[in-house]
């Protein structure tokens, strides 16, 4: 069975060859199992950089899915018995392999997704970092001991792997977010089935090759890490499958609600990392140069296609004019173009649908009363998917401001009075992922971080909304889904807790002093 039916572009072919991926590769004979049996439909993959066809990939069906689940189940029987530090050693080797392939894999991320090369390389570095984190974690999957109320009894808790973890990832971070889940799940003793976005399958296939080689070198079953290329129907199969105790899904709130309902209906577990409508507050006490730099990266990085993208800028009236004028000048001088070229700051949107959503949002917000200050145009002279990032003066209650548009639109909102007014504006949306405040005033910063401050899962001071480190748990509240991935104790979501009590006496006392003599 074949996965890549053809590669249509020399640059793509060269990168995939370096990464060990070739067209007409018999995937099932090598155990890679991402689908595409004879007669399966294919999906053409286009680079958003210039719209050219770069590859064609066979899509999986229900039969492929069943084979992959069976393979993962058999691998779990072996992997769960491997001591956690030994599992960490495998992840360490994966991290070393990613270091070796960082440059070509980062370029492939850019070629397939469209983010600038620095961000593509940064995404691979994020995979390397999470491998390092997971290696250390493999020796720290600790439980607790508790004192029993009964004499000569010992009580403690421990953590066991869940089994198969389903991972549904989005196009904007085609590999990094998968690695947050997969590497942590792996050291916890789970096996994974990964369904990447059908818009960005090449990077997923490349990662699968890299990992497969590590597993093969260590005489381990390749079913520990599994890949399936398919559309929404594959996501539905994963979500409804009682054999998969945990689904981690990254994407839109609309998609996440469907996953949550399906998983909850079978009493499964889910980790949801969904939409963000992130805001930066700039107070009258802010270091403005620092704030402007953070806003620019947060708003236009990845062409506005991050879940942590800065979408609202809430500025105190005393500094509003300075901030507005400075940002307009910055936007007028943004370098927009081929993301593989040095010096480019803004690459393309992912596809034509994203461009249409960008234009629709701008049209609608202006109809509501918003004032377009800069940008907002399609740039056909560069390519079909390129747009000029926009700044719009708006009010927080506008319908479009309340929604997440996955595009580079920054809504500029003025506030007056104390910082609590700004916080209330920031919290006045359905999403709760990332937030930030720029201030050199201690009370303002601490108010922002208090229980009555930001209601988001991430709250930063004098740092923007984008660019989270892997050491902290990542995720948000409200319609962002409530899930946590990556660092801190997020590993517990990939395991099941078990409380154990051991009686080493010769009697059988009952808890709460209950007497039951027979």
Q: In whole angstroms, give the CA distance from residue 134 to residue 332.
A: 42
Residue 485 and residue 248 in contact, taking contact as beta carbons nearer than 8 Å? yes
Nearest C-alpha neighbor of 131 from the set 97, 82, 172: 97
Catalytic residue among 273, 404, 479, 485: 273
Q: How many CB atoms lie within 10 A of CB 396?
A: 19
Starting at the earlier edge strand, list the strands of the sheet with 153-161. 144-147, 153-161, 495-503
Question: What is the CB neighbour count within 10 angstroms for residue 324?
Answer: 18
Q: Which helix (H) or strand (E) holds 153?
A: strand 153-161
CA distances from 60 to 32, 152, 178, 346 (A): 13, 56, 19, 34
Please return the burial class of 226, using the count of CB atoms within 10 Å of its CB with bins 0-12, 13-18 and 19+.
buried
Give Rg (Cα) of the chain.
Answer: 25
Structure tokens at 195: 């369904």
307, 404, 456, 479: which is the annotated catalytic residue?
A: 307
| Token pair of 468 as six digits | 């989270």
**Run of H or E residues at 158:** strand 153-161
Q: Based on the residue annotation, tell me whether 303 is a catalytic residue of this protein.
A: no
Strand partners, 42: 58
Euclidean distance between CA atoms 252 and 449, whole angstroms: 27
Residue with tokens 């950089």: 49
What are the start-end ranges of the H helices in 138-231? 176-187, 201-217
Give the separation between CA 6 and CA 231, rounded to whole angstroms: 19
Question: Measuring CA to CA, which residue among 219, 224, 235, 241 is closest to residue 185?
Answer: 224
**Whether 213 contacts 224, CB under 8 Å:** no
Cα torsion 61, 67, 70, 74: sign: negative
Tokens of 146: 């508790």
On whether the CB atoms of residues 418 and 260 are closer than 8 A, the answer is no
273 is catalytic: yes
* Catalytic residue list: 273, 307
């Amino acid at each position: 069975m074949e996965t890549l039916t053809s590669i249509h572009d020399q640059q793509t072919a060269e990168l995939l060859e370096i990464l060990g991926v070739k067209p007409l590769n018999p995937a099932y004979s090598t155990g890679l199992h991402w689908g595409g049996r004879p007669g399966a439909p294919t999906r053409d993959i286009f680079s958003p950089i210039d719209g050219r066809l770069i590859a064609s990939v066979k899509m999986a069906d229900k039969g492929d899915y069943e084979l992959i689940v069976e393979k993962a189940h058999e691998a779990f029987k072996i992997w769960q018995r491997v001591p956690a530090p030994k599992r960490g050693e495998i992840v360490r080797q994966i991290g070393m392999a990613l270091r070796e392939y960082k440059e070509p894999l980062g370029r492939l991320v850019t070629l397939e997704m469209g983010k600038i090369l620095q961000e593509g390389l940064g995404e691979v570095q994020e995979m390397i970092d999470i491998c390092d984190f997971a290696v250390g974690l493999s020796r720290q999957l600790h439980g607790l001991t508790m004192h029993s109320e009964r004499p000569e009894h010992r009580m403690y808790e421990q953590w066991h792997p869940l089994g198969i973890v389903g991972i549904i990832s989005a196009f904007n971070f085609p590999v990094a977010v998968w690695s947050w889940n997969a590497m942590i799940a792996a050291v916890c003793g789970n096996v994974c089935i990964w369904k990447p976005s059908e818009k960005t399958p090449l990077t997923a296939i490349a990662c699968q090759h890299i990992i497969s080689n590590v597993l093969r070198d260590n005489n381990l079953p390749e079913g520990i890490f599994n890949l399936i290329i398919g559309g929404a129907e594959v996501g539905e199969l994963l979500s409804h499958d009682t054999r998969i105790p945990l689904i981690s899904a990254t994407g839109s709130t609309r998609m996440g609600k469907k996953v949550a309902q399906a998983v909850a209906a079978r009493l499964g577990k889910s980790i949801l990392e969904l939409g963000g409508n992130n805001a930066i507050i700039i107070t009258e006490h802010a270091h403005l140069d620092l704030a402007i730099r953070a806003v620019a990266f947060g708003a236009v990085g990845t062409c506005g296609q991050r879940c942590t993208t800065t979408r609202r800028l809430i500025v105190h009236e005393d500094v509003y004019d300075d901030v507005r004028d400075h940002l307009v000048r910055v936007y007028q001088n943004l370098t927009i173009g081929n993301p593989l070229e040095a010096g480019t700051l803004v690459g393309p949107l992912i596809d034509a649908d994203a461009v249409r959503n960008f234009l629709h949002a701008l049209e609608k917000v202006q109809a509501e009363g918003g004032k377009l200050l800069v940008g907002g145009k399609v740039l056909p002279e560069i390519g079909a998917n390129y747009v000029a990032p926009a700044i719009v003066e708006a009010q927080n209650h506008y319908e479009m401001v309340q929604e997440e548009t996955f595009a580079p639109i920054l809504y500029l909102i003025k506030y007056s009075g104390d910082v609590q007014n700004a916080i209330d504006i920031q919290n006045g949306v359905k999403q709760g992922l990332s937030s930030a405040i720029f201030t050199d005033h201690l009370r303002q910063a601490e108010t922002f971080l208090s229980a009555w401050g930001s209601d988001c899962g991430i709250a930063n001071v004098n740092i923007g909304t984008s660019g989270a480190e892997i050491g902290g748990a990542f995720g948000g509240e409200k319609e962002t889904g409530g899930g946590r991935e990556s660092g801190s104790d997020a590993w517990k979501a990939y395991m099941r807790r078990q409380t154990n009590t051991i009686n080493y006496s010769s009697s059988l006392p009952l808890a709460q002093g209950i007497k039951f003599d027979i």
